[in-house]
Amino acid sequence: MAQVSEYISNVDASVVDSIPESLLYFVRQSGVDPNFREKYAQLEQTWSSLSDIYARGEAVLADPRAEGIHRTLNGAIMLGRNLVSVAKAGTLAWDSGASTQVISIIQTLLELKDQSPGATKIFNSSLQFLANMSNQSSNTPEVITKIFDGVLTGTPAATLDKLLERLEPSAAAPLLLIVDSCLRHSSVNCLKFYESDNGQTIFRWILNLTPIWYDLSNDIFINFVSLIIHHIIEFGYASQFLTQAIESETYEPTQVLSLLKLLDAGLADISLFEFAARKDLFDPIYTLFEETSKKAVPYMIHSKDNDKLSKDESAPIFHTWNLLIILLDFLEALLSDRIADAGQGTNEAIVQYAITQKPIVKALIDLFHVAQVHLPKANKLGEYVQAQTSETAESHTAQHTKFPLVKARIITLLGILTMGNRAVQDEIRERQGLELVLSNCIIDIHNPFIKERAIICLRYLLENNPENQAFVAKLEAKSTVTEEALDEAGLETEIIDGKIALKKKARVEEV
């Protein structure tokens, strides 16, 4: 190691970019031999020697002649990267100063105007070093706190901006692993990540790249992002991050959309059953839903004209529709019991809160009315085939400009809110929502399974509610509602004292 230190310090003598055989042996063995890693990773001398090499290398990196030592310095960092993955090696790496020297190397490289291939390799190996150390030390509080403060929150903002700008989406795994490791076992770090400017900057960067990783179907990156979101939800900071994203001008609409999608997916893996936790998420989600609904209404009213727009012109419509669908899905997740392992009845408190403290029924019915009047219904096979096979620029925008899926999701939410609640049953009838549900007991290509959802919702609306039953019976007499819809809802009409009424169908025993 001493020879390597001398070699790396002598820039003039290292004009040929090579690596000493002694170092090459250590690098190779540390990559393939776990016993070798275990032996040398536990020696203080190893880390003091590497710290010295890193310091000497960082001192000459800015020298134009330093390219001659790039392979040697990169080899030494790769050796440290391999060794630091051994248990307890992170403490030795930090105490020896090796880790802080690696951080300094990254900062020095970010300041260099010309990035040679060798410098790029050093940069990538340095990030991998810190990622391995973070991962191994995630359950060692004193080490992971130093890493968190030194790498994430302690980096100057300008340097962090350069780092994020330089990282290609395909090379982002080390930084994601560092964030994951720092948050994994520490609610304190999770709070610091939320409160710090650097944490917010990194979080926005993650949200920016998330759609790219999904498009690439890169499971490694998606898994890291999912783990980070898991920690945020698990430690109870989801509502803070979401509120910050919605209210802060530093977050772009696309970033808010990415966060909503990630949180909605993350709810399936978290036991988020307590009322307080649901309420903290419900409040910002509902507020954003009201705002998005207002933006959606003009687009819905002019949905026929929207078909003539180009792809770029319809981009705001696509964003509004996409956001509206995610918000409706999110509300369903919070208000229902579809969260994993939730017991029956765990949604009662949040549903009661929603219908008594927020005008959610009115908001849903108002949006439903606009959708019913202005959005097209495609219930013929020919219309469906034409929509799916046309490749013109106009047809490319046609689907989202018709706001597909919206009505079906509204009906699902109304069913959740109505179940066993007489006040909601009556409010929906009084706001002419009962007719809307009945009118959608049909097949609609733009809203798959809307008929089934409407029939389920209809059952909840009519259950133990004579007024709603009488109202539907009158509509049936006027042929406003089909006998088929009532039949599938388990009801039938009959004449009582000269008046039409609904009753439950008698069960037919199978032979």
User: Which residues lie closer than 8 Å to 399 by C-beta, 6 or more apart?
Assistant: 387
Which residues share a beta bridge with 491? 504
Compute the CA torsion angle 383, 384, 387, 390 (nearest 10 deg). -90
- Asked if pLDDT for residue 206 goes beyond 80, the answer is yes
Structure tokens at 441: 């007991």
Which residues share a beta bridge with 492? 503
What would the pLDDT profile of 105-157 be if each residue is shown by its tens digit? Answer: 999 999 887 778 888 999 999 999 999 999 999 888 888 998 899 888 888 99
Long-range contacts of 114-117 (CB under 8 A, 24+ apart): 116/67, 116/70
Which helix (H) or strand (E) segment holds residue 48: the answer is helix 44-60
End-to-end CA distance of the chain: 87
Under DSSP, is residue 502 helix (H, G, I), strand (E, B) or coil?
Answer: strand
What's the average model confidence in pLDDT over 471-492? 64
> Among 2-16, 204-218, 238-252, 346-360, where is mean pLDDT lowest?
2-16
33 or 18, greater pLDDT: 33
- Asked if pLDDT for residue 3 goes beyond 60, the answer is no
pTM over 0.75: yes
Which residues share a beta bridge with 1? none
Under DSSP, is residue 360 helix (H, G, I), strand (E, B) or coil?
Answer: helix
DSSP letter assigned to residue 380: S
Residue 272 identity: L
User: Which residues lie closer than 8 Å to 347 by C-beta, 6 or more apart?
Assistant: 278, 335, 336, 337, 416
What would the pLDDT profile of 158-173 be if each residue is shown by its tens digit? Answer: 999 999 999 999 899 9
What would the pLDDT profile of 361-400 be if each residue is shown by its tens digit? Answer: 999 999 999 999 999 876 654 444 344 433 333 333 347 8
Under DSSP, is residue 501 helix (H, G, I), strand (E, B) or coil?
Answer: strand
Residue 153 identity: T
What are the b/e assignments for 171-209, b being 16+ CB within 10 Å?
Answer: ebbbbbbbbbbbbbbbeebbbbbbebebbbbbbbbbbeb
Find how far residue 412's CA is from the centre of its chain.
23
- Asked if pLDDT for residue 39 goes beyond 80, the answer is yes
pLDDT band at 468 (very low <50, low <70, confident <90, very high): very high
pLDDT band at 504 (very low <50, low <70, confident <90, very high): low
d(Cα 458, Cα 474) in Å, to the nearest integer?
A: 15
